[in-house]
Amino acid sequence: MTEPWGPHDVGGQQAGPVDLSEHDYAHWEWQIDAMIRLALKKGLISDFAELRDGIERLTPEDYNRCTYYERWAKSLAYTLVSRGVISEAELAAKIEQIRARQEAEGVA
Amino acid sequence: MSDHDHEHDHSRTFQPDHPEPTTDAARVGLALRELLIEAGHYTPDEEQVVIAAMQGASPENGAKIVARAWVDPDYKGRLLENGATAIRELGFELEPYEFTVMENTDDVHNVIVCTLCSCYPRALLGMSPAWYKSKNYRARIVREPRSVLGEFGVDLPDDVEVRVHDSTAELRYMVLPQRPAGTDDWTEEQLAALVTRDSLVGTQRQLGSGSGSELPRALRQPRGDHAHAVADRRHATALDQQVVYTCLWSYFPSLTRYCKKLYQS
Amino acid sequence: MSDALFRVGQRVRIADRTPPVHHRVPSYVKGRRGIVERICGMHGEPEKFIRGDGEPKQRIYRVRIPQTDLWCDYAGSEADKLEIEIFEHWLEAAE
């Protein structure tokens, strides 16, 4: 079999039993999903292919460590920065603002 | 500072009644959202409309299509020929993907996966379950489908062909499960109530109407980490949940509500 | 719109290449042979969306591959199949 191209290319690999438990989506996960749909609708990105590409660029460590919506969030960040919709600096500043707020409110 | 005495500030991702994620990766998502809203790319109201639409989709949509196909052979023919056109015929909105419906028969069992990511027909099935997106499902269902199906309680003899459909970005799939025996005079509504999400993905084969060797999904689903219980439940006697509830309801409405709550929690 | 290059029932081979861009062919089917089961519609090519608008659209084919051809240790019926959509430019005619 040809070598997997990236961490997403998992078809046919050895893996463990399937965990069948059901999970509700967290509020923030609905918000991430909605953000992706709105980014497409508003033309901030042109196609889902861009976001799949962003996920495929994650390192294997990142891909396996991140949860499903964390991967989409990282991909969207990469895509929007690449497209110039937001800058790396303002993204970093906002992340730091959120981290500080969470610490101050005792939720971090 | 307190926002709590006023209307929620919807630009802030954190709302006191919803836990906020604190991993670095999740903060990226929270940050993006706040930046895009602050820059006016979309509003919290628009966000709510999109979320409501996503939450409104459920496997009941797919179930209605299946029930119609069971009672109307002409519709079934159109559905198998061009899924998107036939689905829109019943008033459902579909994103502009090509849509293919695969029919289970006595000789063939179909099951769907997206190995590269997690493409899923949300408009008809609602949001995908965690297992569909998991590496273990995506990796193994294409290579050892019978073993994976066994974990879902589906054991197929060798004379039933298993067809695995790996969905790429552009096409979406749904399985048309077989109509259970003994339902000839059932209404479309009654038939639709039999159809489960798993049967539309292909991780359930038989739908309960009193026959078959599988428990209805709600009874097979393990709570928490008791995955080992699934193996035991696979060998348990089949139970027609719908019939039991119907009978119970006639005599013991409160008991029925309690049983439903117990099994579905 | 151009005519389909391949017809239903034709034997085809999926290319075994790994371009350094987003593409929708999993490694486990690269280089494999199968039969065209269905001719699907015209779609934007994923590789072209990253740097463009996906145009011109390309035809997709559903390819059916016996599982015993994919996996030397396949534990199931010899009749079991894998079906997958592949873009036209990833396919070539095969014996």
- Residue-wise pLDDT for B5-60, tens only, equals 334 444 444 444 567 888 999 999 999 999 999 999 999 999 999 999 999 999 99
* pLDDT of B254 higher than 60: no
Class assignment of domain B57-205?
alpha beta
B206 or B246, greater pLDDT: B206
Contact indicator for C94, C6 with CB cutoff of 8 Å: no
- State the Cα angle at B4 between A38 and B47, rounded to 5°: 10
A59–chain C nearest CA distance, Å: 15
Structure confidence at residue B129 as a pLDDT band (50, 70, 90): very high
The mean per-residue pLDDT over the stretch B139-153 comes to 98
pLDDT exceeds 60 at position B265: no
Tell me the nearest-neighbour CA distance from A37 into chain B, angstroms: 8
Mean pLDDT of B117-145: 95
Q: Supply the Cα-derived Rg of chain C in whole angstroms.
A: 14
Mean pLDDT: which of A67-71, B1-5, C62-66 is highest?
C62-66
pLDDT, tens only, A40-86? 999 999 888 889 889 988 889 999 899 999 999 999 999 999 999 99
d(CA B124, CA B56): 10
DSSP conformation letters of A6-74: STT--TT-----------PPPHHHHHHHHHHHHHHHTTSSS-HHHHHHHHHTS-HHHHHHS-HHHHHHH
Tokens describing residue B232: 């035991």
B29 or C49: whose pLDDT is higher? B29
What residues does B113 pair with on adjacent strands?
B166
Q: Domain coordinates of chain B in residue numbers?
A: 1-56, 57-205, 215-265
B264 pLDDT band, cuts 50/70/90, is very low
CA distance A81 to A95: 14
ipTM here: 0.93
The confidence band for C49, taking pLDDT boundaries of 50, 70 and 90, is low
3-state secondary structure of B259: helix
Q: Which of C24, C28, C74 lies nearest to residue B168, judging by beta carbons?
A: C24
Residue C88 has pLDDT above 90, yes or no: yes
What is the per-residue pLDDT for A83?
93
Of the candidate ranges A87-91, B110-114, B257-261, C59-63, the one whose mean pLDDT is the lowest: B257-261
All domains in chain C, ordered by first residue: 11-93 (2.30.30.50)
Active site residues of B: 114, 117-119
pLDDT band at B101; cut points 50, 70, 90: very high
At residue B91, does pLDDT exceed 90?
Answer: yes
**Closest residue in A to B230 (Cα–Cα):** A20
Q: Tell whether C68 lies on the interface with B, counting CB pairs under 8 A.
A: no
pLDDT > 70: what percent of chain B? 71
Q: What is the pTM of this model?
A: 0.82
Burial group, residue B157, by CB count within 10 angstroms (0-12, 13-18, 19+): exposed
Domains of chain A and CATH, by start:
28-104 (1.10.472.20)
Residue type, B129: P
* Minimal Cβ distance to A86: which of B21, B35, B230: B35
* pLDDT in the model for residue A100: 95
Nearest neighbour of B171 by CB, restricted to C28, C71, C85: C85
pLDDT at B211 (0 to 100)? 43
Q: Which of B4, B10, B12, B27 to mutate to test the interface with A (most CBs of A within 10 A)?
A: B27
pLDDT tens, position by position, A2-52: 888 888 999 999 999 999 998 889 999 999 999 999 999 999 998 888 898
